[in-house]
Structure 1
Amino acid sequence: MSIYTGRGDDGTTGLLSDERVPKNHERIDAFGDIDELNATLGVLKSSLADDAVESTRQISRIQSDMLKIGAYLSAWRDAPILERLEKIDDTDIRFMETAIDSMEVGLPPLNGFLVYGGHPCAAWSNFARAVCRRAERKVVGLSIELKVGRSPRHMKYILVYLNRLSDYLFLLGRKFNCLTGLPEDIWKS
């Protein structure tokens, strides 16, 4: 089987719900950013030390959640396939909040804005956070488009999840700098 089909040569792409839309459609833009976030998380995960077992496990789960979000965003809201997809729910939000709470416990208070950098894993965490915020903005735009009728409940979970994920990635960057003994670079105006 060949990777190329030629069906997108006209500038359109197929959705999971079988419609074809232009490749610059806001739905494609939103789940494209989710895909980029997933790839960035993969780079972050590949940069972790072998003993970072818990962070590796968490990021793997988050990557799986990105696939759930991408699949959900790639179908129109009334598409029958949506009923068969695994969706983001309260369990996923609690997972994220528990991970955030556990990371926060070991970190010193933050007394200013950070200049990102430090350990490579911290830098990748903050890069992933920035990609996450962009994806979140695109999903918010898509959510507004969907409110022509009633915004699906699942979209609200996705928005909460992405908001928590950016907090998680911010704290993960701080954690990596703390674990490696690198001082946080506080911005001085």
Structure 2
Amino acid sequence: MGITTKKGDSGFTSLFSGERVKKSSIYMETLGTLDELNSHLGLVKAKCPETLKKEIEFIQTNIFSIASTIATEPSSPLREQIKTLKKEDLDTLEDFQKHLIEKTKMPDKFIYPGTNENSAITDIARTVCRRAERRVIEFEGKIKINLYIEKKYLNRLSDVLFVLARYFENGEFKEKE
């Protein structure tokens, strides 16, 4: 299978459901930011202890679901094939945050990112998550897709990533060698 199709050379690309959109459209800006977030989460996952990899991968799967929802027009028959986020996904994320908070000394003042490499890369993922949330909010206002759970999920995820970065700062594990 080839990677280069040359179909995007004109500045347009296809959504999952087949519609062609400009690469500079709100669709692609939102999808690109979600892709960037997922890539940063991949770095967090690569650097974190084995005990947390499953949770990070669950989050990555949900980011893919958000992107799939956005990349599929509501009227498309493909809409039925994609996994959409449910309240249970949000509950699982909130449970992960509670678990981390139980193990983490939270700061009582403003923090400077960069205490160690793991906390720094997690804080970068957190800031990209906040941008993704802003893009989804802007996107939702321009098309007919209700992203109520997705917005909440991204909002909670930025909180989870804040706590995870503090967890890494507290040295709850030894960095990989």
TM-score normalised to structure 2 length: 0.92
Gaps of 5+ in 1: 182-189
Amino acid at match of 1:35: D
Indicate which of 143, 164, 175 corresponds to 1:146.
Answer: 143
Q: What is the aligned partner in structure 2 of residue 120 from structure 1?
A: 117
Matched, 1:97 2:94: yes
Task: Say which SS state the counterpart of residue 146 (structure 1) adopts.
Answer: coil
Q: Following the alignment from structure 1 to structure 2, what is the Cα–Cα distance between the partners of residues 161 and 131?
A: 14
Aligned CA-pair RMSD:
1.4
The answer as to whether partners of 1:132 and 1:166 remain within 8 angstroms in 2 is yes
Equivalent runs, 1:37-186 vs 2, <5 Å: 37-48=37-48, 52-146=49-143, 151-152=145-146, 155-180=147-172
The answer as to whether partners of 2:133 and 2:154 remain within 8 angstroms in 1 is yes
Amino acid at match of 1:72: T
Q: Identity over the aligned pairs, expressed in percent?
A: 32
Residues 74-109 of structure 1 show CA distances to partners (whole Å, capped at 9, x for unaligned) of 122222211221111111101100001111122234
Q: What is the aligned partner in structure 2 of residue 187 from structure 1?
A: none
Task: Say which SS state the counterpart of residue 77 (structure 1) adopts.
Answer: coil
Q: What is the aligned partner in structure 2 of residue 185 from structure 1?
A: none
Q: Following the alignment from structure 1 to structure 2, what is the Cα–Cα distance between the partners of residues 54 and 167?
A: 20
> Which stretches of structure 1, 4 residues or longer, exceed 3 Å deviation after superposition?
none
